[in-house]
Each structure stands twice: as C-alpha cells, then as structure tokens.
Amino acid sequence: MSIVQPDATGPGVDDASLQEPVDSFSTEFDIPITIPRHPRAAALYKDADPSKKMSDITYAEKTHFDQSYLDVMYRSFFNVDICNHTTEFSALRNNIRMYALYRLIQAKKIVLTSFDTSASMTNLFINKDECVIVPKEGAFVLTFNENTDVVLLISKYSRSIGWGYIGKNFDEFNVLEKMISDDIKLHNLYLNKVFDQSGEFISLPDVTFDDIYLDQDLRDEIQANIINYFDPKKFELRRKNGVPTKRGIIFAGDPGTGKTFLSRVLANTLNTTFMVVTSLQGAGELEFCMDFMKQFPNSIILFEDIDIYIPDRNTGAPIVSAMLNGLDGISVNENLLVLCTTNEPSVLDRAINDRPGRFDRTFKFEAPDKVLKTVMLKSFCSKNDCTAVDFDELISKIPVAHTGAHLKELYITAVTIALDTNQLDENSIAKLSTEIFIDALKKTSRNKDIKRRTGFERDDDDDE
C-alpha cells in the first residue's frame, strides 16, 4: 500500500501524532506525522503559556476562559478584527474536500501548518490500495495567494464534519473555497470509482460481460438498456430525440441467478461512478445517497436487495416516499442509472416496480435452460478431463430450478469427490465422470424436511 504525506514546510516545528482515525475517513492504521507550526502562531504561544496553573475556578468559568483565550489568540494572530464561517459536511463530501486540499498542498498552491497542538492528521484512501495523509481534527493555518492566511478548524460531530474558517474577511474565504471547488471539479475523489455508501472503495473481480452466462434475450436487453446507455454517441442521440437521460432498472429473480454477479460486471467494465447501497437506516440516508450521486455524470447507484429495506409503503412509508421523491428529482442528471436487485419483487410498492419514469424496466433472472446449463457446466470443467462425462444424461437429471450458483457448487462438489477418491490425471487435476457428477448431485440436493437447514438445492416443485 502506498502512503503519501502532504508536503508542508515552514519554520517552528511542533510534533503531533496521528490519533485514532475518525469514522469519516476510509482508514486502516495510524501514521505518526510532524506538522510544522506556523511561525507567527508559535511566537504567540511562546509568549502566552496556556499551561499555567489556575485555582478556584468553576467549570463554566474555565469554559468561558478557554473560548476567550482562543479568541484573543486568533485576533492576535491576524492583528485585526476577525470574521468566521462554519459549514458542516457529510463524511463522503468531507473526504472529497480533504482530497482536494491535499492536492492543492502537493501542488504548493496552499501551505499547511498547525495553529496549535490540537492539529492532527489521518489517512484517507484514494483507491483501494493507496492512501494519503490529510487533516483530521484541530486548528490549521492555510497559507495561499502571496501569504494570505486562513485558520481552518476541523471538528468532528456525531453525523458530520465541521469546516470552520477564521480570517480577516470573507473574500479570503471565498478565494479558498473556489480553489477547493475548482480542484474537485477536475479531481473528484469518487469520480469513476466503485464504493459503498460509507465511502469505502470496493475491490472487484476482473470480470467482463463475457464472463456471465445469460439467456440471449436478457443479454440483448442488458446491452440495449444499460451498456449502450453509457455510450457517449448514443447519449447525444437520446438527448436530441427527447429521450430521458436517467434510467431505473430492477433485476428480479431467485438467489444465484446472476443479479449480483452482473452488477459486479457492470461496475468493473463501465466507465461510471458506482455507489453500492446494501442497507439503509432511514429515509435521510437514502435521500443523502441519491443527492450525493447528482454531482457525477455517468453514474450508477445500486440498491442491493431493495425489498429488504424499501418494502410496500404501508410498512415503510417514509423510506418509500424518499425513494420516489429521489427518483422524481434526478432528471437533471446526465446518464444516471438507478439499479436495484430483489429476490421478491412482489413485496415492493407498486409505485416503485410498476411505474415507468421511476423504474422503467424489470428484468427477470431465471434459472438457465438445458442448453445454457450445458454451456455453463462445460465451462466450469474446461481444465478437467471430462471425456467420461455424458453431459446430455447429466443435464437431464439436474432439476429445472438449478441456478448458476447451484451448478457451480455441483462442479465444486464433483471435483472434491474426485480428489477424495484419487481420480486424478498425470498433472494431479481431477478427472470427472457422469457417475461422479450424479454422486455430487445427490450430496448437494436436500430433502424437503431438512431443506431449510442444510444444503442449498431446490427441487423442481420447490416454491421457496
């Protein structure tokens, strides 16, 4: 893993160790770092020692003194009347801003120093393998534009991060904000990345559209409604012809039919910003996720197993309403796809699963037919000696409801049987036969009276 520290230089060094990372950052470990002290701030604290003992003072008096002391220090630092401004940001937006600040420091457009010993730093991941060091909490001095200074106060609240500016005038704040916003437009931390709703980057397998087994009709629908949707040439054609530039798609089907795998393929192959939502604590979190994705062109927000947390409005009215309002309010986006997966589409509110303009299409994922089952099994067996396998006979014995996940487990079980019985070729690779597969089929099938406790297989008439 690569770690990059900010290149902040300046006289008056003050040691500050990296403390435990706050929840707002994608972090794994601590890195000690020295933050240079701004020379003017160092001189102030040298003359005004805050560690001097005081006695017979109440808590209220001490709190008032602390704030008054800081106000005096800030006024002395700038040597003029000061103004201040504070804004709160979500964890994800704070990460974006911190990365922009880091980039500006690296480009030497801003010099970062500490104002006092409260300043501490933390790790911020910029992809799944690399992180940089950014301000975590405390008082910092940002110097820019020919020695213009602004004190930055980073504060952690229960659900947000506060950015407090202290300086000579609001014009300087606006200049600093413009520098940060301009960098974000060019180098947004999450642009074209895959991440979850907390901002953690997601590692994906190296898979493409060719690695998934789908019915050809469904494959064509995915190509037309999702893959082609992000083709820039087709985007211009859609816009010229008045076709909406946002889309809602539902993947519906039993577990193991390929919904999640296809979602991973799309995340891995499409040049999009891709957020994965796996749970929601309430309508507020859903509204934030929808609003957050508005800043990105060519974006996908995936709600996995949406039936779990967005059911019928009679049982989940606030969160259903938030979803509907979010879908109605994203028309300004260019190429935004809201994608949902569900095992139980029947439990969804009709306003979600039967309302073009919100969710335009529902694609049904079903167990593969006999031809596709044969293709899948032969693919799984491509590295094995399968001359003794009668695939026609084998497929005739496999239940119709077997999904791709079932077939994969059937293959794994067959290989395990071959290894246990020492049926190997000269390279120690399992040799498979029809008999081994039939034995594996028995082992992976389950009796109806114990089907909820063991195995994963479903019989043809299993309505689970």
Give pLDDT tens digits for 198-242: 899 998 888 888 888 888 899 999 998 888 888 888 877 877 887
Q: Mean pLDDT over residues 333-345, rounded?
A: 81
**Percent of the residues in the chain that have a pLDDT greater than 70, as a whole number:** 77
pLDDT in tens, 410-423: 999 999 999 999 99
Q: Mean pLDDT over residues 256-285, rounded?
A: 88
pLDDT in tens, 305-336: 887 777 655 555 667 777 766 666 554 555 78
Q: Mean pLDDT over residues 146-155, rounded?
A: 94
Q: How many CB atoms lie within 10 A of CB 73?
A: 18
Query: 25-29, 236-240, 367-371, 391-395: lowest mean pLDDT where?
Result: 25-29
The CATH architecture that domain 370-450 belongs to is: Orthogonal Bundle (1.10)
pLDDT band of 11, cuts 50, 70, 90: very low
How confident is the model at residue 155, as a pLDDT?
A: 95
Same fold yes or no, 209-365 and 370-450: no
Which is nearest to 198 in space by CA: 119, 292, 129? 292
Which is nearest to 138 in space by CA: 11, 7, 14? 14
pLDDT band of 102, cuts 50, 70, 90: very high
Q: Mean pLDDT over residues 97-125, rounded?
A: 94
Cα angle for residues 201, 204, 209 (degrees, 5° grid):
135
Mean pLDDT across the chain? 81
How confident is the model at residue 317, as a pLDDT?
A: 62
- Per domain, the residue ranges of the chain are 2-189, 209-365, 370-450
How confident is the model at residue 24, as a pLDDT?
A: 39
pTM for this prediction: 0.77
Question: Burial of 35 by CB count in 10 Å (0-12 exposed, 13-18 middle, 19+ buried)?
Answer: buried
d(CA 333, CA 329): 9
d(CA 366, CA 43): 72
Q: Mean pLDDT over residues 63-81, rounded?
A: 78
The enclosing H or E element of 112 equals strand 111-114
pLDDT band of 181, cuts 50, 70, 90: very high
Is the domain spanning 209-365 CATH 3.40.50.300? The answer is yes
pLDDT band of 35, cuts 50, 70, 90: confident
**Residue the block writes with tokens 């003359």:** 47
